[in-house]
Structure 1
Amino acid sequence: MTRCLSPLLLSLLAACAQPPATAPQPEAASGFTAKPGWSYQRQAVAAANPLATDAGAQILREGGSAVDAAIAVQMVLTLVEPQSSGIGGGAFLLHWDGRRVQAFDGRETAPVGVDERLFLDAQGQPMSFPQAVASGRSVGVPGAVAMLALAHRQHGRLPWARLFQPAIDLAERGFAVSPRLHTLLAAEKALPADPVARAYFYRPDGTPQPVGHVLRNPELAVVLREIATTGPVALVEGPIARAIVEKVRQHPTLPGALTQDDLRRYQPREREALCHPLRTGGRWVRLCGFPPPSSGGIAVAQILSLLSRTPQAMASLRNGLPGADWLHAYTEASRLAFADRAQYVADPDFVPAPGGDWRSLLDADYLNARAELIGPQRMPNAEPGRPAGTPLAFAPMPPQPEAGTSHISIVDGQGQALAMTTTIESAFGARLMVSTNPARPGGFLLNNELTDFSFAPADAQGRPIANRVQPGKRPRSSMAPTLVFDAQTGEPIMSAGSPGGALIIHYTAKALHGTLHWNLHPQAALDLPNFGTLGGPLMLEQNRFPNATVQALRAMGHTVQTVEMTSGAQALVRRGGRWLGGADPRREGIVSGD
């Protein structure tokens, strides 16, 4: 297909490769609320909404496993945080069972009926991102429920159906609209175009339901009860599956190609976690992240490993904040990691790893050579490396937006731990709400995960992009669920992750470096101001850094912009015989446990 693209089209696609002046934020800001930090002896749940956290903690108290609790949390999040994740999306789950780390891949797949021109318009030009998102074309085959069922078969302790009851009860009883949900609904332009979503989320005059309004979702209760009874097959066959397909294929302007055969064909994957030794804070740890199709695990490990090889990155906090020298080193390390990400990372079922092994990007000699590129001034261009002499067979993927997500960290009383990042991609996904019965209010939202593929299938020279659209392929992700282990004892000492689109990588790296290197309480690490670059300017969280830091970075050659940066990280850290918990002050999450 790529060979047939015209020179004019290729030049238009190449124009997309210019980094945006300012990266759009995945979800709108809704304030900064100080969190106390938490401490528990045996077990803990950190999630993005208090109702979801409470559901997970209750499951643990009933003797459930970390996986059991994660299922209960996810089902409640589908109801109370519908803008970020749900049963209509996908997830990556990293799990420790006391012996090994497993990576459960519930990433969505592209329908069989698509091709690499999916997001080109009738004139052969790339669609606008908002147009592509709010459409049937953007919907991938949901994978979260099937993946959770696979993990439950291996690690569940309580019956599958029991794990759905908290969400079913809440859906029937109703929950109070939170300030964050109200804020995002008020800012949303495309969601009211969907009649099911409009009737559920908005009042007759078109304004969003107010803060505190009790929102009931009887349709979701029916759907969850069916999944609780029959398992993930409920989303593959029967009325729910038919409603999903109908919603996608009958989109009024840009229908998608999803079929029930696509739903039946979906299989979650169990992949090998990417575990990597890291020296930080004067000790060695084992850092475990998610492998491709996620780019998060590799990028986070590369950034932290390059920092450990960079003298100026060893600096302590200054007046409680990262200083200019440290921020410079971090930014240069992340630019190198993002260059590799754009060049190499895509679905491993379609794209080979450089040198035949993704660990080539984490090889010590390779990282040593990459670290030597970090100097006192901003490097003019951060180019991808050549691990093991890898030929550059693909073109780098142009920057494009990535969007909303939620993160869950859990440790149980039996020594199991997990980190799960879960998503429907953009805030409110494809803006399509599925209902099997129009007489019942509510339903669940479908993902727009396919917009994580490159809209441009090739560069101006005709070289294919690794992360282009292909039938059955999983789009590249930035999700970075992370588990950390003490290198000497092998015991888990941290679970962390964050939402935030491509900025997930930065938010997760900040949480890890803050706790492991600066020895901060996880809450203090999450409270630190955010920072990061996606190929354009260095972004610093608005009103959080002194002007002297900004000026020093500019003197080093960086273009600096101060913007709102709405992370939503969760972290649990084992220290002093207890689990310390932190929840991002920029969102609604809390930590609960025993």
Structure 2
Amino acid sequence: MDFLRPLRFAAIFAALLANACVPPPGAPVAPPSPPRAATTGVAEGSPGLVSAADPRAAEAGAQMLRLGGSATDAAIATMLALTVVEPQSSGIGGGGFLLMGDASGLVETIDGRETAPKAAGPQWFYAGGKPLAYGDAIPGGRSVGVPGNLRLAALAHNKHGKLSWRTLFQPAIRLAREGFAISPRMRASLAGAARTGGYDPAARALFYGTDDQPLAAGTVVQNAALAATLESIAARGADSFYTGDNAATIAAKVGTAPTNPAPMTTADIAAYKAVERAPVCGQYRQYRVCGMGPPSSGATTVYAILKQLERFDMKALGLANPASWHLIAEAQRLAYADRDQYLADSDFVSVPVIGLVDPAYLAGRSQLISEGATMPTALPGTPPGAKAAFARAEPQNEQGTTHFVTVDRWGSAASYTSTVEGPFGSGLMVGGYYLNNELTDFNIVPDRDGKPTANRVEAGKRPRSSMSPTLIYGPDGKLRLAIGAAGGVTIPAQVAKAIIGVLDWNLSARDAIALPVIFAPGGDVVFVEKGTSLETMIPALQKLGHAQVIARNPSFKANAIEHVGGQWRGAADPRSEGASVAP
């Protein structure tokens, strides 16, 4: 099995220039020109830049920048387009986290994570008194949380949008109405996740042939139902998704699913709110690192990995040195131990966020790391402010995720991670979009060793996430890097590795993202990316005390924009189909 399949704890782990630039409400956006990949960057003060996991979605965001839109406008248009062209990973049937940072360094975050319905409780995923297997819990209604992406988008647009709400939808509507080609990656997802990709008859009719095989890569698909849904939301606003016919259809679909039907009501859907939360920021060397707090585990885990490495001279050790990767693995083990112990929805449990990023606490954790040996065990610490005695639980894992970053002519940036959790989410389709299976990010078994776990299912609660949208500011106070990734529980490891590549090893963001991934979040097992330089380092890592080092096939997808020498430069993971597009 690869990195992204469920892992047992012991075995694992981016003001208008003039009003004339803005189309009137409902006016169509001009037909898109071919996407222009930004290989050498664009100048500060240019319309901006977008990096996303699909060039068609990046082009949708770039169109907004071309019209004088903000980074937030571009991010919303990108999210909507990804609903069409990358349905296996994200969309309006899911949720996400958005970081917005302006040129002065002010960072704001919006939590658009899905919520459990009012009927949910700790044994939500039990049948006949026994917990469902993870794979059995995914298809159908019980795994669906109330989607958050559209209320997130509306809140962000109200705060920082410059173009009309309708304008943001036009590229996605065109892609759905006129058709889009199935990409090779999407085709592979349709083949590998047939249980969810073709679970719903509407989805099967859209993406599979009469032989029940996925349509070939390059096949042009027109999603008329999704086009109609997007047109309605564009005209009527985000609230129309959460009330009326759409909400009734979601509730009925979840409640009558052939597999795992579950009680979700229109009241559950109408009650959903996106929430502004304080960013989690800290200092790493001379840089300010900001991320998303609970229910995301991203900021605290990424920052802990970095801060625990701060006392080591990572630059001098270098990227070709097995000792560097050993240190990264050890820092991961400690950071993930704290993640699994403490992180959950802070509206429901006491999460010691300040303690988890406290420099003195992390300096103490760092002393457990040795350059020449491996820790026998990596246990959670006791950060300042830790009060509730929750049990440490095995990490859950989201797999169908995407990340995109945008910057605009004013120097503002958006770093947005969006997800439907597993490939094609729950498999249920409403109005041409898939509903998420986000509730399987809760701990299916609610307690351990007689104690409750922080991330157990509760009514109205948001499941813990690994998504790690990040903004990094340099010593001059200017944005240096906007980054994030997809890949489930590996996301914090991917993001931290890339940050080390940029800040410590002086790599470009693209080269840092392309670095191989080491993943060591629990027990004594270390995973390294197969077919890379890390695989050749396995004997050296074993000599340092890592008893089990296993090479696994990669399945990663990161995107970034960096600021270098007065230019914005985009970066997309070479393992993916991603691209950076300039207006």
TM-score of the pair, normalised by structure 2: 0.91
Matches within 5 A, 1:510-525: 510-525=497-512
Cα drift, residue 36 of structure 1: 8.6
**In the superposition, relative to structure 1, how do residues 45 and 36 fare at CA in structure 2: closer, same or farther (>3 Å)?**
closer
Match of 1:266 among 258, 262, 272: 272
Partner SS state of residue 417, structure 2: strand
Match of 2:538 among 544, 550, 554: 550
2:380 is matched with 384
Match of 1:541 among 512, 521, 529: 529
Structure 2 Cα separation of the partners of residues 37 and 502 of structure 1:
30
Structure 2 Cα separation of the partners of residues 424 and 17 of structure 1:
19
Cα drift, residue 19 of structure 1: 2.2
1:586 is matched with 575
CA deviation profile, 1:535-558 (whole Å, cap 9, x unmatched)? 152111111026651101111221
Structure 1 Cα separation of the partners of residues 109 and 501 of structure 2:
25
Contact 1:313 1:330 in 2 (8 A): no
Matches within 5 A, 1:366-515: 366-375=361-370, 376-388=372-384, 390-391=386-387, 393-435=389-431, 443-460=432-449, 462-487=450-475, 489-515=476-502
Letter in 2 for 1:525: A
Cα drift, residue 38 of structure 1: 4.2
Matches within 5 A, 1:46-65: 46-65=51-70
Contact 1:37 1:522 in 2 (8 A): no
1:564 is matched with 553
1:329 is matched with 327
1:69 is matched with 74
Count of residue pairs the alignment pairs up: 547
Partner SS state of residue 422, structure 1: strand
1:207 is matched with 213
| Root mean square deviation, CA, Å | 1.7
1:574 is matched with 563
Contact 2:112 2:274 in 1 (8 A): yes
Letter in 1 for 2:384: A
Contact 1:399 1:534 in 2 (8 A): no
CA deviation profile, 1:339-379 (whole Å, cap 9, x unmatched)? 1101111101011132xxx1211112111110110022221
Contact 1:168 1:225 in 2 (8 A): yes
Partner SS state of residue 572, structure 1: strand
Contact 2:331 2:366 in 1 (8 A): yes
**In the superposition, relative to structure 1, how do residues 204 and 523 fare at CA in structure 2: closer, same or farther (>3 Å)?**
same
Partner SS state of residue 520, structure 1: coil
Cα drift, residue 193 of structure 1: 3.0
Partner SS state of residue 424, structure 1: strand
**In the superposition, relative to structure 1, how do residues 511 and 548 fare at CA in structure 2: closer, same or farther (>3 Å)?**
closer
Cα drift, residue 313 of structure 1: 7.6
Contact 1:289 1:297 in 2 (8 A): yes
Structure 2 Cα separation of the partners of residues 52 and 399 of structure 1:
31
1:338 and 2:319 correspond: no
Cα drift, residue 37 of structure 1: 4.4
CA deviation profile, 1:441-476 (whole Å, cap 9, x unmatched)? xx000000000001111112x111001000000100
Cα drift, residue 167 of structure 1: 0.6
Matches within 5 A, 1:106-117: 106-117=112-123
Structure 2 Cα separation of the partners of residues 158 and 580 of structure 1:
24
Structure 2 Cα separation of the partners of residues 221 and 202 of structure 1:
19
**In the superposition, relative to structure 1, how do residues 313 and 367 fare at CA in structure 2: closer, same or farther (>3 Å)?**
farther
Structure 2 Cα separation of the partners of residues 498 and 120 of structure 1:
32
CA deviation profile, 1:358-416 (whole Å, cap 9, x unmatched)? 12111121111101100222211111111127356110112333322000111100121
Contact 2:38 2:570 in 1 (8 A): no
Q: Which runs of 5+ in 2 are unaligned?
A: 1-5, 14-36
Cα drift, residue 276 of structure 1: 0.5
**In the superposition, relative to structure 1, how do residues 206 and 152 fare at CA in structure 2: closer, same or farther (>3 Å)?**
same
Match of 1:150 among 155, 166, 185: 155
Contact 2:337 2:521 in 1 (8 A): no
Structure 1 Cα separation of the partners of residues 10 and 554 of structure 2:
16
**In the superposition, relative to structure 1, how do residues 240 and 274 fare at CA in structure 2: closer, same or farther (>3 Å)?**
same
Of stretches 213-222 and 360-369 in structure 1, the one that deviates more from structure 2 is 360-369
Cα drift, residue 330 of structure 1: 0.6
1:29 is matched with none
Match of 2:188 among 154, 175, 183: 183
Letter in 2 for 1:291: G
Structure 1 Cα separation of the partners of residues 558 and 266 of structure 2:
35
TM-score of the pair, normalised by structure 1: 0.90
**In the superposition, relative to structure 1, how do residues 201 and 328 fare at CA in structure 2: closer, same or farther (>3 Å)?**
same
Structure 2 Cα separation of the partners of residues 533 and 38 of structure 1:
34
Structure 1 Cα separation of the partners of residues 454 and 274 of structure 2:
21
Letter in 1 for 2:281: C
Cα drift, residue 522 of structure 1: 1.1
CA deviation profile, 1:497-551 (whole Å, cap 9, x unmatched)? 0000010011111111111111111111111112212315211111102665110
1:3 is matched with none
CA deviation profile, 1:64-87 (whole Å, cap 9, x unmatched)? 001111111111100000000000
**In the superposition, relative to structure 1, how do residues 17 and 593 fare at CA in structure 2: closer, same or farther (>3 Å)?**
closer
Structure 2 Cα separation of the partners of residues 397 and 97 of structure 1:
37
Matches within 5 A, 1:32-111: 37-41=39-43, 42=46, 43-99=48-104, 100-111=106-117
Contact 1:116 1:470 in 2 (8 A): yes
Structure 2 Cα separation of the partners of residues 222 and 208 of structure 1:
24
1:351 is matched with 349
**In the superposition, relative to structure 1, how do residues 313 and 331 fare at CA in structure 2: closer, same or farther (>3 Å)?**
farther
Letter in 1 for 2:377: N
Structure 1 Cα separation of the partners of residues 276 and 394 of structure 2:
29
Structure 1 Cα separation of the partners of residues 10 and 534 of structure 2:
25
Contact 1:307 1:313 in 2 (8 A): no
Structure 2 Cα separation of the partners of residues 424 and 401 of structure 1:
12
2:3 is matched with none
Contact 1:17 1:397 in 2 (8 A): no
Structure 2 Cα separation of the partners of residues 407 and 418 of structure 1:
11
**Amino-acid identity (%):** 45
Structure 2 Cα separation of the partners of residues 230 and 414 of structure 1:
29
Partner SS state of residue 397, structure 1: coil
1:198 is matched with 204
Cα drift, residue 275 of structure 1: 1.0
Match of 2:146 among 141, 154, 175: 141
Structure 2 Cα separation of the partners of residues 401 and 554 of structure 1:
27
**In the superposition, relative to structure 1, how do residues 145 and 548 fare at CA in structure 2: closer, same or farther (>3 Å)?**
closer
Contact 2:200 2:427 in 1 (8 A): yes
Cα drift, residue 286 of structure 1: 0.5
Letter in 1 for 2:242: V
Contact 2:113 2:462 in 1 (8 A): yes
Structure 2 Cα separation of the partners of residues 391 and 101 of structure 1:
28
Contact 1:46 1:581 in 2 (8 A): yes
